[in-house]
Amino acid sequence: MALTLHTLSSSKGSKTKTKRVGRGQSSGRGKTAGRGTKGQRARTGGKKKLKLKGMKQMILGFPKNRGFRSRFAEAATVPLSRLEVFGAGEKIDLDLLKKRGLVKRSDRRVKVVLGGELTKKLTLIGIQTSASAKAAIEKAGGTLELHPSTKGKKGKREEKGKALKKGKK
């Protein structure tokens, strides 16, 4: 027989009517409607929030709400020895690190930490460093520079301080 729209039907047993409970004793689920007699579970809404009453259970029932999640991205760390792939005298910034695959493309901040040795003279632009990594870079003859966009800018606190001083005259 050809399969057409008017010959389609659901398979046998796939569509069953839901059992209506509490509709008389002859229905098989009358009187207590399959809930047994008395107790919290027999009442309406009794099964929904049924919990053990111990303090430990109460604490476990609450959502975890300690701590916080910072809105600032955490700096990706790069060990000093990984910077050996660059040529001597090269200027390194975040974009160059991303191109060479030393950090992920989604990383916004990078921090160079001491791990291994640096033998080449490099210039890091707008990259954070640990104190020991900074010393190692300077020992190799390298330098650290601020990002061009932050040069000459003052922090919010300094601006605020000036505004307060002007207002006090």
Determine whether 120 is exposed, middle or buried from the number of CB atoms within 10 Å of its CB (0-12, 13-18, 19+).
middle
CA distance 51 to 76: 44
Domains and CATH numbers, the chain: 76-149 (3.100.10.10)
Tens-digit pLDDT profile for residues 82-93 = 999 999 999 999
Interatomic CA distance for residues 159 and 169, integer angstroms: 16
Strand partners for 111: 77, 128
pTM of the shown model? 0.50
Quick: pLDDT tens for 114-169: 988 899 999 999 999 999 999 999 999 999 998 777 666 666 656 665 655 665 54
| Bridge partner residues of 123 (DSSP) | 91, 143
d(CA 128, CA 109): 8
Percent helix, strand and coil across the chain, each to the nearest 5: 30, 10, 60
